[in-house]
Amino acid sequence: MNTQGHAPAAAHEGASVATYVRVAVILTAVTALEVGVIYIRFLTPIIVPLLLTMAIAKFVLVVMFFMHLRYDPRSLTGLFVGPLIMATLLALALIALIGTLLTLHR
């Protein structure tokens, strides 16, 4: 009997070391792309959306693999994603509000 209340190791298989290495290589490549994109002048008009997209992709990879949400039940994923969406919407609303206030006081 398992006295600690955790599922046996065989029932909760995680990612292999090779998977973690693959994810780390992808994260490194995306980080290098983020740094490289800064120096490409013709990307200036879309630099912010491009960097945000790459940051979101990195965030998703870190959450899925290194925080193990990929292997957790969907209910736990919902407990993480729900407040994350609300916090993101709140941050965007605050950015819009502050931008509006700054333009009105000029």
Does 61 share its domain with 100?
Answer: no
Question: 20-55 b/e with 16+ CB inside 10 Å = b?
Answer: eeebeeebeeeeeeeeeeeeeeeeeeeeeebeeeee
What is the domain range of residue 78?
A: 73-106
Taking the model in full, what pTM does it have? 0.68
pLDDT grade, residue 102 (50/70/90)? confident
Q: How many structural domains does the chain have?
A: 2
Does 36 share its domain with 53?
Answer: yes
Does 88 share its domain with 40?
Answer: no
Closest CA to 46 of 33, 37, 36, 55: 37
**What pLDDT shows up at residue 9?**
47
Dihedral (CA of 77, 83, 85, 91) sign = negative
Does 41 share its domain with 1?
Answer: yes
Does 61 share its domain with 81?
Answer: no
Does 67 share its domain with 83?
Answer: no
